[in-house]
Amino acid sequence: MMPTYSFAVFGTAAPQGSKRLLGKVMVESSKRVHPWRSDVRMAAIENKPVIWDMKVPMDVLIRFWFPRPASHYGSKGGISYIKASAPDEPVSARIGDIDKLSRAILDALTGVAYLDDRQVIDLNSSKGYLIGRDCAPYTHIAITPHA
């Protein structure tokens, strides 16, 4: 049995959005997606187990962690708190859709964790807010051969 392949990628996740036609070439709409996919790829390469079979079906777990916007915090008597009106989960358009965030990860892992993202047969993705004003955003990824 192969181990779970787990690692973190630090930085703000970028969604893989729509493509647009530029002359005769299709290009990504988001300028952030290429550097983000590169960071994911490098973290995956650095943390890849010595023994890893890229040919088997895979389960992928992705947890995106985002900092709360400053507008979610209040202060009273020098004590900072999260306002009651602040949402519990990141749903703003600025963060991105879960499917587009996941697509960028799955494409970045092609050729590193598996031969093709078609091999991913179980995908569990979620978004969350970090607790604390100074927390750095990151994404946790775990890949397991499907049992």
Q: What is the mean pLDDT of each run of 10 residues along the chain (147 residues)?
A: 88 80 64 91 96 94 92 83 86 82 96 96 95 89 93
Domain CATH number, residue 62 = 3.30.1330.70
Q: Domain range spanning residue 73?
A: 5-145
Number of domains the chain contains: 1
> Which 3-state string (H, E, C) describes 74-142?
EEECCEEEECCCCCCCCCCCCCCCHHHHHHHHHHHHECCCECCHHHEEEEEEEEEECCCCCCCCEEEEE
pLDDT score recorded for residue 27: 62
pLDDT score recorded for residue 5: 92
